[in-house]
Amino acid sequence: MTRELTCIGCPMGCELTVEIENGEAVSVTGNTCKIGENYAKTEVSAPVRTVTTTALTEEGKPVPVKTAGNIPKGKIFEVVDAVKGVKVKLPVKTGEVILADAAGTGVDVIATKTVS
């Protein structure tokens, strides 16, 4: 079986063709760097993403946040819903943990901007 993907690992956006056997990538073509090969192999077996969104302060001010690492793609909406339930206390600094172990992923959600 083959699967066509567009790599999201860098700005090149390579068009990838992945040969799949038993749910695993056995070959990847179309990539111009190792990032594309790694992306394709992960995408067909266990896709992951970094989530970026905003949390609100107790005063209703938005704070940009993101997951500190990749999470399983299937957990994106759970993480976003968990962030919606958080009220951030000001001040908050870049890199500060806003939500630990988001949706049981083992990955924290951190602030990406200092907000006073």
pLDDT over 90 (residue 101):
yes
pLDDT at 23: 87
Residues 68, 31, single domain; the answer is no
State both tokens at 35: 């990032």
State both tokens at 21: 């056997």
3-state DSSP assignment of residue 70:
coil
Nearest to 40 by CA among 70, 82, 86, 3: 3
Residues 91, 56, single domain; the answer is yes
Among 11, 29, 46, where does a domain finish? 46
Residue 116 domain-assigned (yes or no): no
Q: Partners of 92 in the beta sheet?
A: 115
Model's pTM, two decimal places?
0.84
Domain range spanning residue 27?
2-46
pLDDT at 68: 98
